[in-house]
Each structure stands twice: as structure tokens, then as C-alpha cells.
Amino acid sequence: MSDQQKQAQEPDLNQLRKVRREKLADLQENGRDPFVITSYDQTHHSQEIKDNYQELEGTQVSIAGRMMSKRVMGKASFCNVQDLQGNIQSYVARDSVGEEVYKDFKKFDVGDLVGIEGEVFTTKTGEISIHASNVTLLAKSLQILPEKFHGLTNTDLRYRQRYVDLIMNPEVKETFIKRSKIISTIRKYLDGQGFMEVETPMLVQNAGGAAARPFLTHFNALDEDLKLRISLELYLKRLIVGGMERVYEIGRVFRNEGLDTRHNPEFTLMELYQAYTDYHGMMDLTENLYRYVAQEVLGTMKISYNGVEMDLEKPFERITMVDAVKRYAGVDFTNVKTDEEAKALADEHHVEYESRHKKGDILSLFFEEYAEEHLIQPTFVMDHPIEISPLTKKKPDNPDYVERFEFFMNGWEMANAYSELNDPIDQRERFRAQEELLAQGDEEANSTDEDFMNALEIGMPPTGGIGFGIDRMCMLLTDSAAIRDVLAFPTMKTLGGKDQ
């Protein structure tokens, strides 16, 4: 639409809004204010009526929802009502609802919320409908919905006004219904495996457990600076120390980082910890959980994302990070003995690194540069270098590496898991190394958490732990292009001092 067309349309929209307010004022003056209605007896939903038509034909039902279209034809009219499950047509005739109700109905606007009571029947064209015996205005819409055939297509506006997006784009509502089912199915699976759901603090003094820059805030009552958590890990491990052998939490975490198709500064993370197992146990759990959720939510273990099929039925591949780099970059890090050799290889392959980086950091950079994009089918990438894994147990036979895996699908990291480090002396050394990085300007490095250290000294059993990115899982299972498509209210830049 051109700027001239927009300017020509604007007065029309303002006039339409004015007319709606006048209609509301008229209703209120005549004692029929829709906003005084507090409830409505909604007996059925649209799809429920269609699915059970043979049983419901000829019976009285009442539905409630938003009127999305209306055709007035003298003494009889049709309207379409949209509810949680979809939409259904209603036939509204003056002789059935009465002259006064019909007169009011003719003044209703698209977007108004209505309740319709009537008998289930089929029109001559075969459409399952409701023959209205009464129509009630439940709330007056004072705004104008987007034009029916073009819908709400402006991506930025869709995210800012998700409520309109949900009304105009049925597939968006389906995505969020599916997201809810994904999360409830995860809970069902874990509860069935003996895990207990818990809650841990969001406001913390020490934001540890991940490599990320935290958000800072101030608690006035205690005059203390606090941070928003970047991870769930350290508090969940405290519960393992306390004897709660299988725990999980699904909750928001906050990372003061950039925005892109897979990152939002607040997102939903699930972490779980299981005593007396290791990262192999976490691989088995991940494989079983993904299969269970896909089957329950999608009815299949074959996922299609952007036209690419991923098969959850086959055993998930397990490969070490060193072997993945060897396969996709042609570089064998088993032959790299020093940091200098690793940097020389990076220079040769044009892999960017920082002066503080060591051999293990550069291996990880090679993996990101050459291997990640190829990991389309479900793959566990195992045995990370110790430099990038400060909370993980060393491999007994090769202490330069740790018992850690990242789970990949569609070239994305979907989960991160460890055999958890439970040696307090080793852990303090790792924290000390992190403190040095912090002093060198690495804002994502961890600082020593003394209370967590005290918990480790009390004694933590051998434990397997994992973190799942719930939003990415939802993206994959709903075939959504961006993380914002699976977040009801994604973070947006403020417009002109306030959101519009």
C-alpha cells in the first residue's frame, strides 16, 4: 500500500472507530451495556459441534466467540463466530430471535464478542451451523481488525500485537496450543520417570551455570545488587546434594545478549539432574524423551522442518567433537599438542579466535565453523575440551576432555549435558580459571559461588545433568522459522518511548 493510500484510508478508520464508540454509548444509554455482563454459559465449541454433529443435530447449544464476518439479508442474516477451536456459522433470523434482538444484531460489528444460543442444523449447502434463538453481545470491539483477505502480515506488528495475530492467523493459535502440549508432555514423561518438578530463584547474587552475560538489577529493601539467572544449574545441584535424587525445572532464564532467529534475551529452559548416572544416562533419557514428545504431540517420530525430514526412530548418532571436526574440517586435533599449533591451524583455515584462547577453545571454534551445519539428523556430539566446560567431569583416560555432550538436530544445538563435576577441589580450580577470564574482560565467564562450593564439600553423588532449550524444541516440532514465532510475547525494541 502506498503512503497516499494509507493517508486516504486513515480518516476512514478513524471514522469507523468513532462509529463503534457511538454504538457503545447508545447501548449504554439504553441500559444494554455489554461490559456489565460477567459470564456466559458456553456449552460447546465449534469443532466439538462439527465432530459430533450426528449426536448434536437438532439439539440446543450455546457458543461464544468473536464475530469474524456478517451478512445481513433483510429479515435473516448469517454470521461466522470464531472460538478456541475454530469457527462456525450461525443463521440469525428475525422470526427466531425476536425483533428487538435482531435489530441490535444488525448493528453488531466484525470483531465483537458474542454468545449465540440455538439449534444445530445443516444448511442447504451442507454447512454445519447454528440456527440462533438468541444472540447476546458480550463485549464491544472498539478497534478495527485487519482486512479479512490479507490478514495481519506485517511481521513486526504481528509480534507486537500478538492478540490480533492470534485472531487473524489460525495457524499461530495452533502453534501456541501445540507449544502448551509439548511442555505438558515433557512433564508427563519426566513425572513418569520419577522426577520431581521444583522451583529455584530467578534473582540471584551469582549468575552461574552458563557462559552468558547477565542482566543486573538492584534490590532496594536490602540495598543489594542482584542478577537475573542465566541458568538453573547451581540451585538444582544443591537439591541433589540435599538428597532429592531426580529433579527438574522448566522456567525462564535471562541472558543479556543479541536477538536473532534462535535467540531471545528471555527464554524457556528446562534443566534436570539425576543422581547416580552420567552423560550416557542423559543421552538415553534425551533419545526417549524426544521420541515420546514427538509421538504424543505430532503422532509420528518423523519430523519435517522447512521441508527437511528428521527421523527420531533410528538410533541417534554419537560422535566425539574431535571426530566431528576431523570428518567435516579434515583437521585431526589428536595430533595438535600445543596452543600455538592450534592457533596456527586456525590461521591456516581462517577461523577467528582471541589471544586468550587455548587449544580446546579453538577446537570448539572449528566445530562451530565446520561441523554444526551438517548435523541435521539427531546427533550427540560428545567429549568437549575442558577449557569450555567448567562444571563437567574430566574423562578419566584423557583429562584434556570432559564427559559432556551437546545434542544437535537441524544443525541446531538442542540440549547440553554433563557428567556433573562433583569434586570440590577440582571445581574450585575451574572457578579460579573462570575468575581469571573474568578479570581479562570475558563478561560471560563464571565467578566463584561460595555457597555452591560449600554444597559440593558437603558431598554430591555422581550425577548426570542436562539443559534443554524448550523454545528451539517448539520451533522444530511446529515447523516455525524463528524463535519469536513460538514466544507469545517476544522481546521487541520500544517504539518512540513506548510499545505501539
The DSSP secondary structure of 41-64, one letter per residue, reads -----HHHHHHTHHHHTT-EEEEE
Q: Please, which pLDDT band fits residue 443 given cuts at 50, 70 and 90?
A: confident
**How remote is the C-alpha of 232 from its chain's centroid?**
17
In this model, does residue 10 exceed pLDDT 60?
Answer: no
CA–CA separation, 373 and 395 (whole Å): 27
pLDDT number for residue 152? 67
Residue 12 is placed in which grid cell? 476512514
pLDDT number for residue 151? 58
In this model, does residue 25 exceed pLDDT 70?
Answer: yes
pLDDT number for residue 8? 53
Q: Please, which pLDDT band fits residue 149 given cuts at 50, 70 and 90?
A: very low
Whether residue 89 contacts residue 80, with contact meaning beta carbons closer than 8 Å, is answered with yes
In this model, does residue 148 exceed pLDDT 60?
Answer: no
In this model, does residue 7 exceed pLDDT 70?
Answer: no
Looking at residues 310-322, what average pLDDT do you find? Answer: 98
Q: Which residue do the cell numbers 526412530 mark? A: 313
Mind listing the pLDDT tens digit for each residue in 263-279? 999 999 999 999 999 99
In this model, does residue 364 exceed pLDDT 50?
Answer: yes
CA–CA separation, 119 and 91 (whole Å): 10
Q: Please, which pLDDT band fits residue 208 given cuts at 50, 70 and 90?
A: confident
In this model, does residue 135 exceed pLDDT 80?
Answer: yes
* 61 strand-pairing partners: 118
In this model, does residue 4 exceed pLDDT 80?
Answer: no
In this model, does residue 92 exceed pLDDT 80?
Answer: yes
In this model, does residue 444 exceed pLDDT 90?
Answer: no
Measured in degrees and rounded to the nearest 5, phi and psi for residue 433 equal -65, -40
Cα-Cα-Cα-Cα dihedral sign, residues 292, 297, 298, 299: positive
Looking at residues 23-37, what average pLDDT do you find? Answer: 96
CA–CA separation, 136 and 127 (whole Å): 23
Q: Which residue do the cell numbers 579434515 mark? A: 330
Looking at residues 148-155, what average pLDDT do you find? Answer: 65
Q: Please, which pLDDT band fits residue 462 given cuts at 50, 70 and 90?
A: very high
Mind listing the pLDDT tens digit for each residue in 251-309? 999 999 989 998 999 999 999 999 999 999 999 999 999 999 999 999 999 999 999 99
Q: What does DSSP assign to residue 237?
A: H
Q: Which residue do the cell numbers 534436570 mark? A: 272
CA–CA separation, 255 and 233 (whole Å): 14
Q: Please, which pLDDT band fits residue 211 given cuts at 50, 70 and 90?
A: confident
Q: Please, which pLDDT band fits residue 352 given cuts at 50, 70 and 90?
A: very high
Q: Please, which pLDDT band fits residue 495 given cuts at 50, 70 and 90?
A: confident
Question: Which amino acid is residue 53, in one-letter code?
Answer: Y
Mean pLDDT of the chain: 94
Whether residue 89 contacts residue 129, with contact meaning beta carbons closer than 8 Å, is answered with yes
CA–CA separation, 482 and 494 (whole Å): 20
Share of the chain above pLDDT 90, in %: 85
Find the angle CA(398)-CA(401)-CA(403) to the nearest 5 degrees: 100
CA–CA separation, 21 and 6 (whole Å): 22
Looking at residues 365-373, what average pLDDT do you find? Answer: 98
Share of the chain above pLDDT 70, in %: 96
Q: What does DSSP assign to residue 389?
A: -
Mind listing the pLDDT tens digit for each residue in 99-109? 999 999 999 99
State the pTM of this model: 0.91
